[in-house]
A and B are shown apart, each in its own frame.
Chain A
C-alpha cells in the first residue's frame, strides 16, 4: 500500500465521525459529545433543569377580587350543583387572599382559569400551593386542552403541587378541583412559565438515522411530568422536527412526532412507570418501534410510521425531560440498526 493510501485510510479512521455511542449516565458529567446545557449530574443521577420564561399569570397570588366569589383576572367554570369558588382570607399562604373551591357531594368541578401568554405547542411548568380540608382529595391542572392526572393535595399545610403540560388547543391555564367531593381546596401563589423547547432535550449528533437505541432507566419520575427519549432531532438549538417517546406522568407511554413545530400524537399505551424500566427503540426508515420495560427491546409499546422528510433522516438522538425532579441513571447506547 502506498503512502498516500495509508494516509487516506488513517484520516478516515481519525476524522470520520463516530457513529456509535455507549456511555454510563449518572456516574460522571456527560461527555463532550452531548448538547445538554441544562442537564447535570449529581448524586449519581442525571437530571434536567429546563430554562423557564417569565411568569405568564396575571395575579398569581389570587389577590384581586371583584366580589367575594369572582376573581378579577381569572374566569371561572363551575360544573353545576352547589360547587362554588370563593375569596378566602383565613386560610392563606401569603398576601391577603387565597382562592377556595367548595366542592359539593356530587363532585361537580370548579375551575379557575386565565388565558395565559404562552403558545400552542409549548410546554409549561405549572405550580400552585394547595391545601385540602379532607384527606385523599385531588386537584388537576389544565393547559389549553391538556389535563394533568389528579394529584393528591395534602391537608396539613399549603404544599407546592407541580405539573408540566403542553398546550394543544389554546393557552388557557386552569387550576381545577379533581376528586374532591364534599371538601374545600385552597389555592395560593400559583405560577405558569413556558419551558424553552431546546432545553427539554439532551442529545448526541453525528450518529445514524437507522439505529438501535437503549436509554438509561428513569430512576425517578415526578407525577404529572414527562421523561423519555428523543429521536431524530433536527437541531439541538432550534428543535422543530423530531420524535419523542415518554412516560406521561399519568401511567401511559406516549409516542409523538413534531414536524416543523407541530406535534401529532401517534400512540398512547397504558404502561406503569417503574424505576428500573427504560426505553429502547429500533428505527429503520419510516418504521420506529418503541419499547419500555426492564430488558432491551423486550416490551413493545408500539411501532409507528414516521416518513416526514424533515424527520426521517435526522441523526441526532438522546433524552427528554420536562422537570428537574426526573432522574436518569444507567447506560445510554446507540448502535446501527439491526
Chain B
C-alpha cells in the first residue's frame, strides 16, 4: 500500500476519484482497489475552486496512474 495527497475536483458533494471497484461508467481505466484499507479521505477543502485535497491509499501502480492522470494534481507521498 502507498499513500499520496492529490488535489482533485469536487462534483455533487464528492471528490471525483477512481472508483473502489471497476465500473464501466466511471470514466476511469483503473480502480483504487478492493483490498482492506485502500480508499481516500478528504484532508482539506478549497471550496472557492471546487477542489479539495485528498489522501489516497492504494497500490503503488494505482498511485502512479493517478500521478499520470491530468485530472489530478499530485502533491506528495505521505
Contact = CB atoms under 8 A, between A and B. Distances in A.
A71 B46 CA distance: 45
Given A269-B37, A270-B33, A271-B36, A251 B20 contact: yes
A145 B26 CA distance: 11
Contact of A270 (B14, B34, B42): B34
Interface string B27-48: 0000011111111111100000
A: interface residue count bin: 20 to 34
Contacts of B42: 266-267, 304-305
Contacts of A250: 20-21
Nearest to A255: B41
B41 A269 contact: yes
B24 interface: yes
Nearest to B17: A268
B13 A251 contact: no
B13 to A, nearest CB: 5
Interface in A279-326: 302-305
A196 interface: no
A103 to B, nearest CB: 12
B20 to A, nearest CB: 6
Q: For chain B, what secondary structure do more than half of its interface residues adopt (helix, strand, loop), or is it mixed?
A: loop
A247 to B, nearest CB: 13
B23 interface: yes
B41 A270 contact: no
A270 B32 CA distance: 9
A268 B39 contact: yes
Nearest to A150: B21
Contact of A269 (B21, B25, B40, B43): B40
Nearest to A253: B39
Contacts of A82: none
Interface stretch (A61-69, A125-133, A257-265): A257-265
Given A145-B12, A262-B13, A304-B41, A270 B24 contact: no
A255 B43 CA distance: 13
Given A79-B24, A109-B24, A147-B23, A270 B13 contact: no
A299 to B, nearest CB: 9
28 contacts: A79-B24, A109-B24, A147-B23, A147-B25, A149-B21, A251-B20, A265-B13, A266-B42, A267-B39, A267-B40, A267-B41, A268-B20, A268-B39, A268-B40, A269-B37, A269-B38, A269-B39, A269-B40, A269-B57, A270-B33, A270-B34, A270-B37, A270-B38, A270-B39, A271-B39, A272-B36, A302-B39, A305-B42
Interface of B: 12-15, 20-21, 23-25, 32-43, 57
Interface of A: 79, 109, 145, 147, 149, 168-169, 250-252, 255, 262-272, 302-305
